[in-house]
Chain A
Amino acid sequence: MAAGSPVQQPGLLFEKIEDKVVEAQVQRLLDAKKANALQEQPAAPMKEITSFEAFSQMDLRVVTVLRAEKMLKSKKLLKLQVDTGLGDRTVLSGVAEHFSAEELVGRQVVMLLNLAPRKMMGIDSEGMILMAEDKDGTLRLLQPHEAVAPGAVIS
């Protein structure tokens, strides 16, 4: 560089990289690892062989959710009012962490109708709503692919 010649304008050639920026990159890798682990986890093993008679004793129906509300003192429970085609029933369902009350109203879901009633938090729950649990523990509703009359028998 000869004396008298102009030099370049100063300016930062490199900028500092903050902790949170590289932490986000590491997190992305950890997320990928978690997704892989779930992918590789086999489905739950098969239960013991059952008989057709035992299966026939289960009264499985499609029901329509009429109302749903959050139980005040519970994180997990929703109180559902469902139309079973044989009259309305109250069912408590442990899905509050997966669905809001609004999401469920009007939907058709699968229910075990003849499960013995059980008292929970002072309320009789008269049946059980069935859901599919994904590998990561999230719950998915089971719905008929087109609407059916409430009380339709599943067999």
Chain B
Amino acid sequence: MSEKTFKRYTITSALPYANGPLHIGHLAGCYVPADTYARYLRLRGRDVAFVCGSDEHGVAITIKARKEGISPQEVVDRYHALMQESFRDFGISFDHYSRTSAAIHHETASDFFRDLYEKDAFIERSTEQYFDPEVGQFLADRYIEGTCPKCGYAHAYGDQCEKCGSSLSPEELIEPKSKLSGSTPVLKETKHWFLDLANYTEFLKDYILGSHAHDWKNNVLGQCRSWLEAGDGLQARSMTRDMDWGIPVPVPGGEGKVLYVWFDAPIGYISATKEWAALSGKDWEPYWKEEDTKLVHFIGKDNIVFHCIIFPAILKTHGAYILPDNVPANEFLNLEGEKISTSRNWAVWLHEYLADFPGKQDVLRYVLTANAPETKDNDFTWKDFQTRNNAELVAIFGNFVNRALVLTDKYFEGRVPEAGTFGPMEEELLAQMAAFPEKIAASIERYRFREALSYVMDFARMGNKYLAETEPWKTIKTDQERTATILHVALQVVAGLSVLAKPFLPFTAARSRKRSG
């Protein structure tokens, strides 16, 4: 862990792409862990800006719009509203949720591009790209389909084959076809602005493999290492596209071109912070420019290269910004043994979950944390969901709290009884209890949320065991004072548990508060 002390925290969750509803894989990947982290920090009185927003640019949105016969704006409006509602429903406590079609974001991203352009960070390069002669348009990645040269799948995209997972470039496809018209595309020259990542190799090696070798997660370091130490090194990446949906390229010769979605999306975190600050009367700059700010990006593993390689290169070139202190990326969550897939409807959709399990947001949050894909891909199964609910939340957590309250209600008119003399059991329990907050905090600060939650459950188990061994329902018949002591101590455990569980189970905590009114 770093020795540094931080004055404020800027926490981001990956911008969800506005072309479909959210499912449990999204929640487990970067929204529940980030929210738990933000809630924990706020509970400790830290200064937190937790921001996110809808990612509304890119090719997939224009393809969806074309398929449904509506405008791209209509597509993003629909899913922005739906996603925002799901986040609210599941208690993801963003300080601000923005969108990349917002004017402030267009302005922020354009300024960034112009700044880098003026610093000569881009290489202007003309390349040949596929062009649909019938429609008169260049075909970005997913607008081209053809046979995969690796596995022979007939519907591989210009950037990837979904069958065998190979990443491709459009020229590799056999018999390429335009998805716009079905015609055979032709190669045509076009100019783009490339960020030459090779120039950043030493900086990135130093930043990641040097400074963060011990506080970043192994899965993240492993992926970065494979990029940084690859035989042919980092490649120049085009930061612009031939399209009309997105942020126009703001430099001479940029007509008809937009910024690459992965150039503008991470800048969306900055735009969202600006918007939040304007709405709440704060200054956004310290959250992005002061060295005593801790910047943490929560993402899924498919976004590691963009957050650990490309975004830091952009920030570094700009010069006025701090770099991410950590990027605790999760691996993937599978569903019943198979990869979650939106197009194949192999998913548990959040809005459907809530319709089927009203009021049970915390159960899902609990299961997704207890079984989080923190170090490797994990599997969500409904059987495991049921078992964790019945055997852990109901039988341990709920049972303990309920027993302590019911007995207090029955024997002491619902008031915390005065404790008598503590025996060895009480001394031991209270001593153990005292160690938990720090233990849980240390796990959370190292982004080990599964571990932290398992300690919370250990705490509840201790309370359960204490009641089972002291049997206040028996002592009440012979020893009122002893019973008072037992319930006094049990209620201290309940109080401690409700604080420790708060970042993980916010709805349960809120319900308890309401009841105690």
Chain A residues within 8 Å of B, Cβ to Cβ: 1-17, 19, 21-26, 29, 32-33, 35-36
Contact = CB atoms under 8 A, between A and B. Distances in A.
Contact of B492 (A1, A6, A33): A1
Given A22-B383, A25-B382, A9 B390 contact: no
Contacts of A23: 382
B397 A14 contact: yes
Contact of A32 (B344, B356, B513): B344
A13 B419 contact: no
Given A7-B416, A21-B356, A33-B346, 5 more contacts: A3-B415, A4-B415, A7-B409, A12-B402, A24-B356
B394 A15 contact: yes
B488 interface: yes
B389 A1 contact: no
A10 B405 contact: yes
Contacts of A33: 346
Contacts, number: 97
B347 to A, nearest CB: 9
A140 B161 CA distance: 36
Contacts of A14: 363, 389, 393-394, 397-398, 508
Closest 9 CB pairs of A and B: A8-B516, A10-B405, A8-B515, A22-B382, A14-B398, A14-B393, A13-B398, A32-B345, A3-B418
Contacts of A11: 402, 515
Contacts of A35: 345
Interface of B: 335-336, 344-346, 348, 356, 363, 382-383, 385-386, 389-390, 393-394, 397-398, 401-402, 405-406, 408-409, 414-419, 488, 491-492, 494-495, 508, 511-513, 515-516
Contacts of B382: 22-23, 25-26
A23 B381 CA distance: 11
B473 to A, nearest CB: 14
25 contacts: A1-B491, A1-B492, A1-B494, A3-B416, A3-B419, A4-B416, A5-B415, A7-B405, A7-B409, A7-B491, A8-B513, A10-B402, A10-B406, A11-B402, A13-B398, A13-B512, A14-B389, A14-B398, A16-B389, A17-B363, A19-B386, A21-B356, A25-B356, A29-B346, A32-B346
Contacts of A21: 356, 386
A78 B325 CA distance: 74
A37 to B, nearest CB: 10
Contacts of B397: 13-14
A64 B127 CA distance: 65
A36 B386 CA distance: 27
Nearest to A24: B356
Contacts of A22: 382-383, 385-386
A133 B380 CA distance: 37
Contacts of B398: 12-14
Contacts of A25: 348, 356, 382
A1 B416 contact: yes
A8 B348 CA distance: 34
A6 B495 CA distance: 12
Nearest to A30: B336
Given A3-B416, A29-B336, A10 B390 contact: no
B356 A3 contact: no
B340 to A, nearest CB: 11
A13 B516 contact: no
Contacts of B386: 17, 19, 21-22
